[in-house]
Structure 1
């Protein structure tokens, strides 16, 4: 399922969309492979599969990504849990439905880090809700870029 850019020797170019999968909301971030910078983009409601994938399709049509990244949650010790399975399934469905290579990235602590970053800017409590998932997706994508750049 995943494209291993570290060992192929191929230089990928273009846009990357990253997803922070959640049962109620999915945060989305966008970035460019050459620049290696991630930016928060959108929050998709995850009320039902049809609506979720219709909204995802709109983003994919607009941004035409070269690849997708999905955060893979895990316990602090690295063991997977129920949301890990759901995130893997979401990643498989993205790749199958849109035919775009999809890579999983460890997302431990991204929501905590995103919340802390928002608090530093004065955004606290319920005011974080609209952007927290986008910020977590941004951190997931930036982690992907940083790891990729460290090996090239």
Structure 2
């Protein structure tokens, strides 16, 4: 169940996020379900040991051990921390996709795809926008 402190109206999110974030990709992507351009995200090729947290509320979402190089242009993970990511049907492009959101705050992360043939344990690819996540290393330092 969501922590009440992470349930906010869009106006409350605008007040919490910095002015730059409201008019730039973090707000547009996390709150308005946008997508960053392929190959432009800071975490696409990033390698490190730690956890990827929600950029909106800070909830842990993905262990670094589940990140893999899919060549898709966005960070890819084969599994989320149990209960951290929720799935929703997304027919917005005229066909059905599965949107993934932070369970704690509802922030848009990206989409999950199945059966693409990647050699990963779940046969899934969580295609995540870099601006939707923040990496924290094993020492607690954000990158």
Q: Which protein is richer in strand relative to its size? A: 2
TM-score, length of structure 2 as denominator length: 0.26
TM-score, length of structure 1 as denominator length: 0.25
Bigger RCO of structures 1 and 2 (CA < 8 A, at least 6 apart): 1
